[in-house]
A and B are shown apart, each in its own frame.
Chain A
Amino acid sequence: MTLELRSTRFRAERQEAWLRLERLLGRAERGGARELTDDELVSIPALYRSALSSLNTARAISLDQALIDYLEALCARAYVFVYGARARLGERVGRFFAHDWPAAVRALWPETLVAALAMLLGAALSYSLVSADPEWFYSVIPAEMAQGRTPAASTQELRATLYGQEDEEGRTGLGVFAAFLFTHNAQIAIGAFALGFAFGAPSVLLLVFNGAVLGAFVQLFVSRGLGGDVGGWLLIHGVTELWAVTLAGAAGMSIGRALAYPGRRTRLEAAADAGRRAGVVIAGVVVMLAVAGLLEGVGRQVVTSTPLRYAVAAATAVFWGAYFFRPGGSRG
């Protein structure tokens, strides 16, 4: 055995670089990119590419199966690192708010319109039903949600729920209330998104039902001459919250639409495109619902004058509108 095999020589010349890549990856995977110095970080893509070219060569000249398996595994690991989701967090968050989120929301406008219409339809339907026969109120709104705000309550009691700080939920701290509302609503919004996978129909139903609850509530208060008051009570956070829920439903519908009508692309491609865009929207929806939770849990308990509540509602509407559709916002 005097002459070395070509493939053995090939391996001897390069294995130092492979092992170096393996060590760097090991450290990077354990502690994240912070573990490595800048030089090391920069060297990973170069080492990855040379390992890939080694793999290519090895496939052509070597019959050492263990070597090829090793290189495939190493390249796969390096690939995941090099092409992984690795943008720095701050940068990523910055780009999300500056560009990705408003752009994704704008791209969803047809679905948003349909979602808003679905919710309005539900509201109008239940409003007219409840005005025709107040008994309908009980079928639309579950008792635990109504918390005494039913047609059986006196106008006085109803008024108190709009302004009293000692109402059912208000008894616990405002912070807890806000956190509860936020997590509850965000869960529903994420659910509306996920239901889009079932071709969007459950998302629409969720929106219609949400609208129906609203419609019944509003009708109850309007019938007691408290229409203006309930408007302020709802809209101070409702502008943000309903907008967010509409967007969540729209995101779900966009996935359903892509699955049902993929157009020229394959169904999988269309779904993946829609899913990623909807993912951006839904992440933003969670942020909106956090704001809505604060407005509902804290803002509404603190601001008890109806004109002021309307002012806050208008301000939030202007804010979100300007943010999503600001001129020049469609730039790269």
Chain B
Amino acid sequence: MPPSVPKRVRTMVTPEGVPLRWELGGASERAGAFLIDAAIILAVLTALVLALIRPILRTTLGAGTSADEAGLTLFLLAAFALRNLYFAGWELTPRAATPGKRVLGLRVAARDGGRLTAEAVFARNATRELEVWLPLSFLGAQAEAVDAWTALLGLAWSAVFLLFPLFNKDRLRAGDLIAGTWVVKAPRRRLLPDLAAERSDTALFGGATRPHFDFTPDQVDAYGVKELHVLEEVLRTRHASTLTEVAARIRTKIGWTAGAGDRDRDFLEAYYAALRRRLEGQLLFGRRRRDKHDQG
């Protein structure tokens, strides 16, 4: 396990029978994605209104030509499509994510591990009526139409749907619930170099070969998988003072006396490779040493 164990990880078995671990999108990311999408919708609507301002005004004032009326018709239909099809349209693409979700590394997936169907996408987004527009309409309810208490009660009632994701462990929206979907994190990860592999890029070392370290079996037995992963993290982040500190601690633990030309990073990489070799060797015999306290 990496040092920071993420919360809200769910295991889902793919149809091939391999368990995949998914981290669910958090409420704040979901809200952030929604705000981005809402901003896009608003921007497009504003642009539409500005572009079609003449036909819209002239038609509503009753002085429109048939071209103006076509413009207003276009506007009505486009606004409808934006309100109802924006989310579903994007979630039907191969990314299964709206632009807002893309920015935050979120995707929609079927909860049962099967295929994400078009009807599920449609259903999960049709409930936005309930979660977004209903609270908004109570918020905007005019004083003369309904009295304040009615509006307030309505707002509280509709807020239940808006805040629904906060009240269940899987962060399901009402729409997710009825569509059998959830929103998972699927960030892109780059394939990082293997720290235990032989260096092929001698450039890093100015043409010098990697210094050689010989560890005794006892020295390599000092740690388990947990420490190995911490060491990997340290080596990948390459924070100079952390490297020194960790190297010093390991040297003390295994009783290693530093040679004259020993650089901390070289030492740690060599120890990492040796430790991984040892632990992976044990893995082949069915033994996974969890950490340094695990004596099997």
Contact = CB atoms under 8 A, between A and B. Distances in A.
A1 B114 CA distance: 45
A226 B18 CA distance: 69
B18 A1 contact: no
Interface in B64-100: 64, 66, 69-70, 72-73, 76-77, 79-80, 83-84, 91-96
Contact of A76 (B15, B186, B191, B198): B186
A197 B161 contact: yes
**Size category, B interface:** 35 or more
Contact of B72 (A29, A84, A176): A176
Given A5-B196, A65-B2, A74-B189, A79 B118 contact: no
Contacts of A280: 119, 122
16 contacts: A1-B273, A5-B196, A18-B191, A63-B225, A63-B283, A69-B2, A72-B21, A76-B22, A79-B14, A85-B121, A173-B66, A175-B73, A176-B73, A194-B174, A198-B161, A283-B122
B96 A62 contact: no
Nearest to B70: A175
Contacts of B24: none
Interface in B121-162: 121-124, 126-131, 133-134, 161
Interface stretch (B45-53, B243-251, B256-264, B274-282): B274-282
Contact of B69 (A1, A32, A66, A172): A172
A60 interface: yes
Interface string A53-97: 101100011111111011011111101110111110000100000
B20 A79 contact: yes
B93 A83 contact: no
A193 B178 CA distance: 11
B178 to A, nearest CB: 3
Contacts of A92: 118
A1 B198 contact: yes
B202 to A, nearest CB: 14
Contacts of A12: 197
Contacts of A176: 59, 69, 72-73, 76
Contacts of B121: 85
Given A67-B194, A179-B77, A275 B123 contact: yes
B94 A279 contact: no
B188 A4 contact: no
A87 B186 contact: no
A164 to B, nearest CB: 16
Interface stretch (A111-119, A127-135, A183-191, A239-247): A183-191
Contact of B276 (A64, A80, A187, A272): A64
Given A8-B194, A64-B195, A73 B123 contact: no
A4 B198 contact: yes
Nearest to A282: B126
Given A33-B94, A276-B120, A7 B280 contact: yes
Given A11-B197, A191-B134, A194-B127, 4 more contacts: A32-B94, A83-B113, A85-B117, A271-B180
User: Which A-B residue pairs are the 6 nearest by beta carbons?
Assistant: A275-B178, A272-B180, A279-B123, A173-B69, A194-B130, A194-B129
B39 to A, nearest CB: 22
